[in-house]
Amino acid sequence: MRTFKLQVQTTVDGYMAGPNGEMDWMRFPWTDDVSSYIAALTEPVDCIVLGRKLAEGFIPAWAAGPPGEPQEAIDFMNNTRKVVISNGLTESPWENAEVAGGDLTEIVTKLKAEPGGDIITYGGGTLVSSLIANGLLDELHLFVNPTAIGTGMPVFGNSGDYQRLDLVKAQPFECGVLALHYVPKRS
């Protein structure tokens, strides 16, 4: 079975974006130690899962080759298979991306049963909250930025249940970002 990972930037108070989707709180530029850590995290990945709203900005932004991003990262984002979770789209408007609709647990279970490498998601907020609430992630990689914003889009939405996690590793970086690698505590 393939490993399904979450990689998300977060504030110290647990938000992945501001109330209007702002991400100007993220700490840049990253230092080489962050880039090396992320390269190791994504090396076994051959599938990216995105929510529709995030895909609408994410896929075109990477296709344009964002300035300041290393070519290896641009190539990874553009050349890796993408699955966009959406019940509103019937076909993909993007290259190298397919749309999957229906029951989220069924979609993820099917993806994880396919042959291949690891699967990674970057969000968006609704997708991340649903994946966490339904216990569909195998690893959570939270990149905690040294900023508190007070309100916004929480990483852990209102699932109504405790999300118990075991810490695998905590890695501080020179730029002040802290990577926290968790696995869900299974009963």
Rounded Cα distance, 18 and 16, in Å: 7
SS3 state of residue 90: coil
Place of tokens 């995290």: 41
How many degrees, rounded to 5, is the angle at CA 75 between CA 11 and CA 142? Answer: 20
Identify the CATH number of the domain in which residue 27 sits: 3.40.430.10
The Cα 5–Cα 42 span in angstroms is 9
Report the domain count for the chain.
1
pTM: 0.94
pLDDT of residue 159: 65
Q: Are 172 and 72 in contact (CB under 8 A)?
A: no
Quick one: pLDDT at residue 157? 82
* C-beta separation of 120 from 54 below 8 A: no
Domain that holds residue 86: 4-184
Chunk the chain into consecutive blocks of 10 residues (it has 187) and report each block's average pLDDT, rounded to whole numbers. 96 95 90 94 97 92 91 94 94 92 97 98 90 95 97 84 92 97 90
pLDDT of residue 12: 97
